[in-house]
Chains A and B, each alone.
Chain A
Amino acid sequence: MKSFLHDHVLSFVIIPLVIIVCFVSYYRFMVRNDYVVGYEGKCNPAIEKCFVGCEDDACTKNNYYSKVQKYAPDLYKECGKDITDCENASKCLPGDRNCSIIHCDPTVEGDTCATSTVNIESTQEVEESGSTTDKILPDNTTDK
């Protein structure tokens, strides 16, 4: 019996541990949604420092965003499971846990920010007049 235990000690310790961890992990991620979700929140380049990306492969239109992290249960409570059209997803509301919004910082290497609100405003005017040319130029043209 002792020799049997010695021979199978790896299985006897590791297999129960993995099974327990499996249940704990299921409970944490699948039931409690105990994690933070990171995504690109809406950003108004007219009043905020926004990151700039492309909306499509051909980069015909810019996408302005801030980096948002929010605790998943709070996010689901405020927006449900689909956050695409949820205004609250881009804000940190009172009572939100682990919520943060990062705006673009031109001094940080690698960040691609919208240049200035003036340019942005003029662009908006151009867009409204029917032009397809987006004149907003990023500070840094490095491909992310």
Chain B
Amino acid sequence: MICYLFSEPSYFLFTSGVPALLYYAYIPTTLVTLFVGFYIYRNGMHSLLNRIFFGISILFSLWTLSTLIEWTNIHIEFIMFVWSFGSIILGLIAILSIYFIYVFLEKKTFPLRTKLVLISLVAPVILLSPTSLHLTGFDITTCDAFNFEWLPFKIYYVSLGVMAMIWIFVLLARKYRTATADFKKQIILMGMGMEFFLSLFFLWTSYTYYLTQIGASSDSQLEMYGLLGMVIFLIYIGILMVRFKTFNVRLLGAQALMWTIGLLVGSAFFFVNVDVSNRTMYILISVTLAIVVVAGYTLVKSVKKLDQQKSHIEHLLKIKSEFIDVVSHQLRTPVSVIKGMASMLKDGDLDDMPKDQVDIFKAGIYEKSVKLSDILNDMLRSAEVDMDNFQFTPERLKVLNISQIVKNSCNDLITLANEKKLDFKCSVPVDVENLNVQTDDMFIGQSLKNFIDNAIKYSNESGFVHVELEKDGKFVIIKIIDNGIGIPPEEAHKLFEKFVRASNAVNTHAYGTGLGLFFAKKIVDAHTGGKVWFESELNKGTTFFIKLPISNLPVTTSNNLVKSGLSLV
């Protein structure tokens, strides 16, 4: 059965009987929401916050689509079918909005109990929506089912929106009190955007009804402005992305501005009469849109270039300040000690001291100069490999027995491990004893030592450090396992950056330049298929995995070096 208010729509939605404002208010808003939702999701699909926002944008789009169908379709069975989902979408938007704000504020998921509360709140809406407790009939005269919705049910699902607004306000207010100044600004922006959206989305119909009742407005199209709430929310989201990199999205102000202008011009397509007879208008809008797109693309490209240069300079300045930090902390101490001791030697202060005490002084000078030498070597080695695609020079490539390299690295560090009374083991199973790797012997040895040295340095006394080897297809995997301080998860992503040390490593006061792992990773990455990764639990320990490709060539000796045209450095 059909209702006779409008004619059969073309393309499912378009009919000439409805106000042009309907399409202008619904279609651009839906497209923009979907676009922003997908953009945010694509830039961080593993982030819960991004996924929830994408969920809200899809639900909102489904709601606008269903409303458009209700407005323009004439087949009443289909309108009823679509109508029954409106309440479900509203209920889900309400609970997802609360969840979204919680994740935004706390950076973690809801506790299970709260999730169950949310489910129990929305479940009645979902379960009752297809029943006669929700919808009983359809009015052909007005072409809607508005008067056939059971009032208590309607009040319940609208109340979910009101409850969401209150819950969100409480969450925001509680967090605001303890937030940093920067985060306070983000809370205000996000809070205002979300409250605007929910308030207009859930209550606009009631506002317009009230305005009509008191005679303040008789505009029947006033209801369509309710979707502006989402537009306002998206504007706040845009500001958050540009200013605070919320959602981990790097969006330039110029990009956001150009997208907005383009969308505004494009939206005009939906405001002109749906009838295509107005060709001049369509041509003018198309030309304006084309000009905006070209100009915008040029502008964004140049701004992006400037931004990249700015980021590069910022990166260099950061490295410089970290370098100064390392120099001031790590170099100053040994230099001061050596200087003080040399001064005592020069002034003859040690002449009257007992021999064993003089020996301690001499050992101190030696130890500090070794440390200085290590730091300088670290820096020089890092400078040598510090390029985007570092590769071994062919002259230095050799085929070496990997188990021998591991054993040598372990032997070099066994004293250090014994000093800390660690359970230090290097195990090489029989099946990997004869495996070879084509590599640079100096670099790979130092790289392995850096990993093992790190494990020893950050293990607690009487802990353990185990080095293991295993074959994995065409690769050999070296595992360095310790039960030390672990790596804070939030710092894991920058562990292999230059001059970076985990905050808990700095707190141990152990010597370190922040170059060891940077260098070690560069060396492993220089092997074809070489890879480094780690698993870590704070205060429980870390396991580093080093994956190197196995070579089937024979181990390089002085003789076959000459034969192959390679020379030892």
Contacts and interface: CB of A to CB of B under 8 A. Distances in A.
The listed residue with most B CB atoms (<10 A of its CB), out of A35, A69, A75, A81, is A35
B119 A9 contact: yes
A63 to B, nearest CB: 11
A110 interface: no
A126 interface: no
A21 interface: yes
Nearest to B122: A14
B112 A9 contact: yes
Nearest to B137: A36
A77 interface: no
Given A18-B126, A24-B130, A38-B148, A10 B84 contact: no
A28 B138 CA distance: 14
B116 to A, nearest CB: 7
A56 interface: no
Contacts of A6: 112, 115
Q: Which of B80, B85, B92, B119 has the most CB of A within 10 A?
A: B80
B137 A10 contact: no
Is the contact region of chain A dominated by helix, strand, or loop, or is it mixed? helix
B127 A21 contact: yes
A6 B109 CA distance: 10
A10 B138 contact: no
Given A10-B99, A21-B88, A28-B130, A38 B77 contact: no
A104 to B, nearest CB: 15
A127 B2 CA distance: 32
Among B77, B78, B122, B132, max chain A CB count under 10 A is at: B77
B1 A25 contact: no
A22 B66 CA distance: 14
Contact of B1 (A13, A17, A69, A81): A81
A38 B141 contact: yes
Nearest to B1: A81
Nearest to B2: A81
B265 interface: no
B129 A9 contact: no
Contacts of B92: 14
A7 interface: yes
Contacts of B85: 22, 25
Interface string B127-142: 1011010011111110
B35 interface: no
Given A35-B137, A39-B141, A72-B1, A30 B77 contact: yes
A29 B84 contact: yes
A83 B137 contact: no
Contacts of B112: 6, 9
A10 B119 contact: yes
B392 interface: no
B118 A10 contact: yes
B123 interface: yes
Nearest to A35: B137
Nearest to B95: A10
Contacts of A34: 132
Contacts of B122: 14
Contacts of B94: none
B49 interface: no
A40 B116 CA distance: 46
Interface string A66-109: 00010010011000011100000000000000000000000000
A116 interface: no
B81 interface: yes
A33 interface: yes
Q: Name the residue among A10, A17, A39, A81 with the largest chain B CB count within 10 angstroms.
A: A10
Contacts of B517: none
Interface string A1-17: 00000110110011001
A84 B92 CA distance: 40
Contacts of B76: 37
Nearest to A6: B112
Interface string B1-36: 110000000000000000000000000000000000
Given A18-B88, A38-B139, A40-B141, A33 B77 contact: yes
Contacts of B138: 35-38
Contact of B137 (A14, A22, A26, A37): A37
Interface in B43-98: 76-78, 80-81, 84-85, 88, 92, 95
A81 B99 CA distance: 45
A69 B139 CA distance: 9
A75 B129 CA distance: 24
Nearest to A75: B1
B25 to A, nearest CB: 25
Contacts of B81: 25-26, 29-30
Contact of A76 (B1, B126, B140): B1
Contacts of A13: 119, 123
B137 to A, nearest CB: 3
A28 B1 CA distance: 15
Q: Which 7 A-B pairs have the closest CB atoms?
A: A36-B137, A25-B130, A38-B139, A29-B80, A39-B140, A29-B81, A24-B130
Interface of A: 6-7, 9-10, 13-14, 17-18, 21-22, 24-26, 28-30, 33-40, 69, 72, 75-76, 81-83
Given A9-B119, A75-B1, 6 more contacts: A6-B115, A10-B118, A14-B126, A35-B138, A38-B137, A38-B139
30 contacts: A6-B115, A9-B112, A9-B115, A9-B116, A9-B119, A10-B95, A10-B119, A14-B92, A14-B119, A14-B122, A17-B123, A17-B126, A18-B88, A21-B88, A21-B130, A22-B85, A25-B85, A25-B129, A26-B81, A29-B77, A34-B132, A35-B80, A36-B136, A37-B140, A38-B140, A38-B147, A76-B1, A81-B1, A82-B1, A83-B1
